[in-house]
Amino acid sequence: MTYPGTHAAGRRSGTPSRSGGRSAAVVPPRVPARRGPAGRRAVLAVLWAGLVLAVLPWWLQTPDESLRTTTATLTAAGRITGLVAGYLLLVQVLLMSRLPVLERRLGTEQITRWHRDIGVTLLVAVLAHVSFTLTGYARLQRQSVLAEAGILLRDYEDMVGAFVAAGILALLGFTGVRAIRTALPYELWHHLHLSSYLVLLLGFGHQFAHGQQLFRPGPVRTGWIVAYLLVAAALVWGRLVLPLRFNLRHDLRVADVVAESRDTVSIYLTGRRLDRLDLAGGQFLRWRFLTAGRWWQAHPFSPSAAGNGRWLRLTVKVVGRHTADLRNLAPGTRVWAEGPSGTFTAAHRTRDRALLIAGGSGITPIRALLEELPPGAALIYRARTPDDVLLHRELDWLAEARQTDVWYVIGSRHDPGPRQMMSPEGLRQLVPDLTERDVWLCGPPGLVEATVRALRRAGVPRRQIHLATFEL
Ligand SMILES: Cc1cc2nc3c(=O)[nH]c(=O)nc-3n(C[C@H](O)[C@H](O)[C@H](O)COP(=O)(O)OP(=O)(O)OC[C@H]3O[C@@H](n4cnc5c(N)ncnc54)[C@H](O)[C@@H]3O)c2cc1C
């Protein structure tokens, strides 16, 4: 079957450009875990229950009569928004702890989305807390709001830290606006973002010194302190202990760097006990290459082949300074990796058959995933020019081994051929049983968004669409 701007390569034979891995044909498909939505719902239920528990003491300790005056209502609103803000801050840090149970149940993309949404709510709650409390106290003391702020800063314990924490949060909220975020260098934005741990520390004291529900010893205060300790423990476990264990166990090093095209390289890694690496095709890790000038940056890349017990491979497209620099990695370079993360795996499928859609370097997790899905998948690979098609021979070989139909859809997104192919009708024409398949989609954000719209219009249920956008 041939279409304008494409050629079909279904069930062609060939050999991989790099041999030595186990044959894809013998990789058994993983049992579907089908835990995506259920896992998400369970985590959501726990988080909502936590929010109820956080504000319950206020509810129980605040009689209706005490809210008769405007001043009392304002200070009460200050207290309740303070409790909500304190709780949401803990949730934010927990979501960033990389705790495996959260990564498995939610997936990194979902966690990132929640983190962004909760971040906005947290900022609103903090600003409301500051405004209500200041106005309420100012009315109570018959002072102006500014004068009251001065009194709080001067006379109240830990209040300077609390104001600084609110300021940092406002700054983080500002840099979270998409246009500002994308204008900043990623590393600057990321390091600014790490100051949210400081917010946790700076905001801690004033809650216990002045919080109506927390300053008295008792079960509420103890529960709140335990919640802080648990979140801190999750952070240490997910961010320090697990990565340390992983890297001591596997001791990864660069074995070779191979050019795949004019702007893409594959980095082969070796290490110890790679047969015990718990890596599913489609997952990613955050990689640090331990040389002067590189060690301080961790960048996410998805291995472009499923685990084979002997080597790992990253296939990296040059888009900026760091990726350009990776072309010069010397064999033997030590590598520090954190992960694996992500639910873009065969274990999260809901159907027996799959359609994989990759755009550009988005082929990397798709290529690995293909090895672990049951035979009979279909793959659509979208690329601007034939030179942008990566791992071509390998894909043809895999197509043969896994009885997969592969379509290369080549051309600019303005060309009528590819546009037609990626439309709901075009997709249905290529894969008539589209709605009966899980769809795994990875590529640039624009392609992903447009394709999700086309898939939805073609009738594919949202729960069958699995996304990886290469954006965290
Ligand atoms: C889950 C995931 C898996 C990925 N897998 C692959 C892959 O297999 N192959 C591949 O070629 N690319 C992959 N990427 C994209 C890759 O991480 C970026 O292209 C790379 O980090 C860009 O770094 P740079 O300094 O060269 O470019 P820059 O010009 O600095 O960055 C380009 C864009 O990449 C993103 N980015 C930059 N640095 C980071 C960072 N440290 N962490 C997260 N995002 C960052 C930002 O959105 C930035 O706007 C993946 C991204 C994600 C999120």
Query: What's the token pair of residue 224?
Result: 């709140």
Classify 351 as helix, strand or coil.
coil
Bridge partners for 19 per DSSP: none
- Sorting pLDDT into bands at 50, 70 and 90, what band is 156? confident
- Sorting pLDDT into bands at 50, 70 and 90, what band is 36? low
Q: What are the residues whose beta carbons fall under 8 Å from the beta carbon of 131, sequence distance 6 or more?
A: none
State the sign of the Cα–Cα–Cα–Cα dihedral 356, 361, 367, 369.
negative
Nearest CA residue ID for atom 40, ligand 1: 299
pLDDT surpassing 80 at residue 327: yes
Nearest CA residue ID for atom 19, ligand 1: 319
Q: Looking at ligand 1, which atom is closest to the CA of residue 303?
A: 8
Ligand 1 centroid from CA 318, angstroms = 9
Q: What is the pLDDT of residues 353-396, one digit of tens each?
A: 999 999 999 999 999 999 999 899 999 999 999 989 999 999 99
Q: What is the pLDDT of residues 178-203, one digit of tens each?
A: 788 888 888 888 888 888 888 888 88
Stretch 27-35: mean pLDDT: 45
Ligand 1 contacts CB of residue 301 (under 6 A): yes
Q: What is the pLDDT of residues 436-467, one digit of tens each?
A: 999 999 999 899 999 999 999 999 999 999 99
Q: Looking at ligand 1, which atom is closest to the CA of residue 304?
A: 8
Please give the Cα distance from 96 to 98 (Å, whole number).
6
Stretch 85-104: mean pLDDT: 92
- Sorting pLDDT into bands at 50, 70 and 90, what band is 3? very low
Nearest CA residue ID for atom 37, ligand 1: 186
- The values of phi and psi at residue 187, to 5°, are -65, -35
CATH says 6-33+345-468 is which class?
alpha beta
Stretch 331-335: mean pLDDT: 97
Query: What's the token pair of residue 156?
Result: 């109240």
Q: What is the pLDDT of residue 158?
A: 86
For a substitution probing ligand 1, which of 257, 304, 319 has the most ligand atoms within 8 Å of its CB? 319
Q: What is the pLDDT of residues 213-263, one digit of tens each?
A: 777 888 888 998 999 999 999 999 999 999 999 999 999 999 999 999 999
Rounded to the nearest integer, the mean pLDDT of the chain is 87
pLDDT surpassing 60 at residue 14: no
Ligand 1 centroid from CA 74, angstroms = 46
Residues 115/96, Cβ–Cβ less than 8 Å = yes
For a substitution probing ligand 1, which of 109, 294, 301 has the most ligand atoms within 8 Å of its CB? 301
Q: What is the pLDDT of residue 461?
A: 95
Q: What is the pLDDT of residue 465?
A: 95
Q: Which residues of 432-455 are buried (b: 16+ CB within 10 A; e: fewer)?
A: eebeebbbbbbbbeebbebbbebb
Classify 187 as helix, strand or coil.
helix
Closest C-alpha among 239, 299, 306 to residue 278? 306
pLDDT surpassing 60 at residue 294: yes
Ligand 1 centroid from CA 256, angstroms = 21
- Sorting pLDDT into bands at 50, 70 and 90, what band is 27? very low
- The values of phi and psi at residue 457, to 5°, are -70, -30
Please give the single-letter amino acid code of residue 222. Answer: T
Q: What are the residues whose beta carbons fall under 8 Å from the beta carbon of 243, sequence distance 6 or more?
A: 336, 337, 338
Report the range of poorest mean pLDDT among 5-9, 89-93, 451-455. 5-9
Asked if CATH classification 2.40.30.10 holds for the domain at 251-341, the reply, yes or no, is yes
